[in-house]
Amino acid sequence: MICAPKLEDSVIVASNERGELTEDERSRIIEHLQKGTEMMVYQQRAERFTVQVIMETMQVALIGSRDRIVKVLDIFELKELRQWETFQDFQRFNESSTFRKIFGLSEKEVQQDSKTCFTIFYGSEFMLKSLSLNADSVEDAEKWLTGLELLRQETLAAHTPEIIESWLRKKMYIDNTKKNSITLKELKSLLPQMNITVPDGRFLEERFVEVGAKDYVLDFQQFHKFYDLLIFENQEVLLEEFEKGPAAFTISNTNRPESSVLPLSDFQNFLLYRQKETWAKNLNKVQELMTIFINDTMRKTDYPKFTIGEFLSFLFSKENSIWDEKFSEICPLDMNNPLSHYWINSSHNTYLTGDQMRSESSTEAYVRCLRLGCRCIELDCWNGRDEPVIYHGGTMTSKIKFKDAVKAINDHAFITSEYPVVLSIEEHCDTTQQKVIAQMLKDVFQDKLLTKPLDPEAKHLPSPNQLKGKIIIKHQKISESDHTDKQGNTAGKSKLNSFKNVFKKIGKPKENMVLEKEGELCIWDPIHMRFYKHDCVISDNKLYYSEEKEEDSPKEGSDLHLFEPWFHGRMAKGRITAKRLLHDFCKGRNGKDGTFLVRESDKFIRNYSISIWTRRRVQHYRIFWSSENGHASFFLTSKQCFPSMCALIEHYRQNLIEYDGLNLHLKNFLPRLNFVSHHQLGWFYSNLSQAKAEEYLLRIPRDGAFLIRQREEPDTFELSVRVEGVIKHYLIYRYNGKYVLADIYEFFRLEDMVSCFREQLFIGKIKLRYPVTPQLVERICMEDLLTCDGELYSEVPEDNPLGHQCKGVVDISKCNVARNAKYGRPLVVTLLNKENVKLIEFTCEILEQVEEWYQVVLNIIQSIIEKMENKTKIAVEMSDMVVYCQSIKKTLNTTFENYNCKEVRSFKDDDFTKKGNEVKPDCILEYNRIALSRVYPKGFRVDSSNFDPCPSWKLGCQMAALNFQTADKFMWLNSALFSLNGGTGYVLKPEWMRDPTKKKPSKQKIRIRVIAARHLPNSEHIISPFVKVELLPYTGARVDDYSFKTTFLNDNGLNPVWLGPRNPPKCFEVDEPDLAFLCFEVSEGDAFSDPKVLAQATFPVRGIRSGYRSVPLKNVFSENLELASLLVHVEHVEV
């Protein structure tokens, strides 16, 4: 189904948008199309034609001078409407200076408006034909786009009698000329086109008399009656089928199609007992079905009756299809399994339009495959002169730009199906152009491109539902040393392990260790949301950092301002936010001059700003901080210093500020949002269990995280602290008015205890550093735990550049680096792991120093990348894009030993059957339950012939990559399989393939008899058809057990019949019902040449319906053929 983006997009107007039109709006649009519109038409040359819809035949006509129809196209064959100005037809004329000279147009005038240009894609082969049009106005273009899509949808939904009437109109309009009559002479020349011969001229004359023709001329109604007689002529014998067996009925007169009738009750019994239609118990539904085929309105009553001609018409109609449409419906619940549990519609060398050696490469091949439901497409990438190109290397196939291909993919990837598309990239580019490819993929697909695992800990692939709208890259990935675990099946790595790779125990350094960079860095603490100073060294591609340095402050209450309501800490957008808050606060309250707030400086570490409301505006001033001999000083001017921020604020509340034009007292203040006093800081819990306390502390991945909770016993408390990743609990009790901790320490208040051990070591090297408040727990839960997880797992060697002061180490060689302005600092450097999770963020007080550290880190990473790329020939940028489809190259006999769910293995189509293959099918099935595999055609198939995908599907291989441009039996099987589940391109494998504990379903038997046909296609002459029926795949040695043929019938493709002992039924034994297909093949044969396939229809056996059924036929490209059908009898036989 076509989706419904805006008119500017490449696809226009879907069925759901059609539903928004009123009947009146629809009528006006269709009327506009019927009247015709003059447009510029681009073909071999640009010409103006009147473009008109002929409703009687459901065709689009180009009408030239003197109302001459020069071209028609069937709406039945219309596949896509695309609105754009860049299609090749438009480009060709835009770029032609000759074209401009002929029409006397400037270059600007000839440039088409994208909203007035559109292209109709139509046809019944793999590569579609196109008709490009340019309307004179946007309104005209939109009406045509909307109207044609409406008619396309209505044509697809039309009932068989409507299609017959349209078909007859087309036959009557000889040479595309509108006519309301047809002569005997014209009819004689028409009969070969209708695929039938008649005995002689007398036969036609008699039929003319029967339908009431005058002067050997038929009007349309008489022509329709003639057709009814003609089609009935050879098939009246079919009615004998229903005179015996269950629900039999007797027809007294079968000479003419209207000579006898079938009442409602008989037809209902036929549906119930012959066709096994349980819905037919509802008489109203039976009546509705009958009225579709009744041509006489007088008989459309509550108790309708079929004429025998109408009954036969029903039997051959698509409304009586052999296929149960419920199997074509999408089941959303079936889309929640891991990706490896599905067969995935896949294409080989998707860009090619023909053979593998000389054919054209085209972006339209990608479009066609995607719109046919393909979900895995291939891109063969090679170095181009200026940019990467796609073609079949080493051949004479043409080249297309990689950029053009991905743009086409982006425009059409999710039109037919919303489920993920896998881009299978066969890489032949050097690393330089691989980087170009990576950037193009990012630029074109943007957020559609999957670059991170949905769940790094998952042991199975995500589901199609989880990956809706995503583009997945299949490509080689630079391997890690710990790619697999001991068992060889690392379906997912934990977050903990990802850190152990980076924050790992370092071995003994070299004696002459080279220090690449050393100095002081300010490292961001995501728990406290502030920077701390650390001594740091870069050596041997690793960053070592010390414990945070004492900052001379916490003495004499210099940090008491942290607990004051007027202190707002760090504010997003600094002075802009402060100005807005003060303005809103004071303006609404007639604020007085001197209203203030204090915040951390945007630009300077350990400095502050005071924002003051004065004279109806906000002024900002810097509060300086300095430290000497461990004593802090705060000051507005160097003339008067204060030991704490609180002392400074209190002084200026009592005394005038005389500074920089100010002359006022500090008065009221703007309180901090959600302010909590220092007596209620949040680390104390009056009602919290020990288990919950441990849960809270485990969420804060920092040693020194702590909380105090009230115990159930009176006057007893518990201090819980995280120490080396373990939660330890210490008893606190009250005795003689004091709080006693661990029977050693005594404090008058719990606050004093916390303040003491925030300054002094509590146990080992641990202080009470991180009060675990409810607000902190909530924030950490909302953030990615990995952003805070590094410190816990940084095991530091004793012999390191910082000695015993070293707190942690980061392996830069396993990192990515980024830099930007954040946290109020002009430049912050961020080190990330390969999953782009933040490990450490740092800056310096001097901007130039930050840049120096960044360059050292960048040089290390670039050097490592260059070495890896030279070794693997894979660009890191491409490698980083590969998440769930990591292409792995291994021999067949070792490929199933070590694997994980993110890998993809590729096999030639004969790998599983060639001699020397020792792999057991169970091993392959087990692999395919966890990971993905792709099977592709072997090299000698230069004609683009396909392999039989059934053996691969039977082994659970998800992606059997076929050449979509080749119309062969194996593509019929592919089309049949992926007609299931709504044509989404994903079909859930049977339960026994997904779960080794489940058994295969039991065998089945199905009996097939070919009875007759109607409207078989013909190309140049009247055909002599026969029908071949096959059960695929063959699972035994005898071919005759899996196929049979009817006899030849000479010179009749309109209404042949195969009855009698020479055409007996065939009973097939179905060994594997989940993966069995019934293929009907109509061919023309004679004694002098090989049979030529005219039509086919292929269905999964699981959806075949019982009874007398129509088989709607398709062409070799699996495109529907108008009215062509077989009549067969199907019987499911109990084994």
Cβ atoms of 682 and 674 within 8 Å: the answer is no
For the four alpha carbons of 518, 521, 525 and 526, in that order, the dihedral sign comes to negative
Cβ atoms of 390 and 397 within 8 Å: the answer is no
Predicted local distance difference test score (pLDDT) of residue 275: 93
Strand 595-600 with 542-546, pairing: unpaired
Q: What is the C-alpha to C-alpha distance for residues 813 and 62, in angstroms, rounded to an integer?
A: 66
Q: 123 in helix, strand or coil? A: coil
For 1067-1133, where are the alpha helices, taking DSSP H only?
Answer: none
Looking at residue 848, its amino acid is E
Predicted local distance difference test score (pLDDT) of residue 1027: 96
Residue 224 falls in the annotated catalytic set:
no
Q: 798 in helix, strand or coil? A: coil
Catalytic one of 159, 224, 341, 348: 348
Predicted local distance difference test score (pLDDT) of residue 484: 34
Cβ atoms of 807 and 792 within 8 Å: the answer is no
CB atoms within 10 A of CB 748: 10
**Which residues, including other chains, have CB under 8 Å from residue 465's CB and lie 6 or more apart?**
332, 335, 336
Q: In what order do the strands lie in the sheet with 825-832?
A: 806-811, 542-546, 530-539, 515-525, 838-843, 825-832, 816-822
> What residues in the chain have per-residue pLDDT under 50?
1-19, 97-105, 109-110, 112, 481-510, 552-556, 677-679, 784-793
Cβ atoms of 114 and 85 within 8 Å: the answer is yes
Burial class (CB in 10 A: 0-12, 13-18, 19+), 428: middle
Catalytic one of 341, 392, 475, 561: 392
Q: What is the C-alpha to C-alpha distance for residues 697 and 721, in angstroms, rounded to an integer?
A: 8
Q: Give me 620's structure tokens.
A: 């900002």
Predicted local distance difference test score (pLDDT) of residue 255: 79
Q: What is the C-alpha to C-alpha distance for residues 989 and 344, in angstroms, rounded to an integer?
A: 10
Looking at residue 684, its amino acid is F
CB atoms within 10 A of CB 1019: 8
For the four alpha carbons of 652, 653, 655 and 656, in that order, the dihedral sign comes to positive
How many residues would you count in the chain? Answer: 1135
- pTM of model > 0.95: no
Cα angle 383, 388, 390 (rounded to 5 degrees) comes to 90
Using DSSP, how many helices (H) and how many strands (E) does the chain show?
28, 51
**Which residues, including other chains, have CB under 8 Å from residue 326's CB and lie 6 or more apart?**
1103
Cis peptide before 420 (omega within 30 of 0): no
Q: What is the C-alpha to C-alpha distance for residues 743 and 997, in angstroms, rounded to an integer?
A: 60
Question: What radius of gyration do the chain's Cα atoms show?
Answer: 40
Predicted local distance difference test score (pLDDT) of residue 122: 95
Predicted local distance difference test score (pLDDT) of residue 557: 55
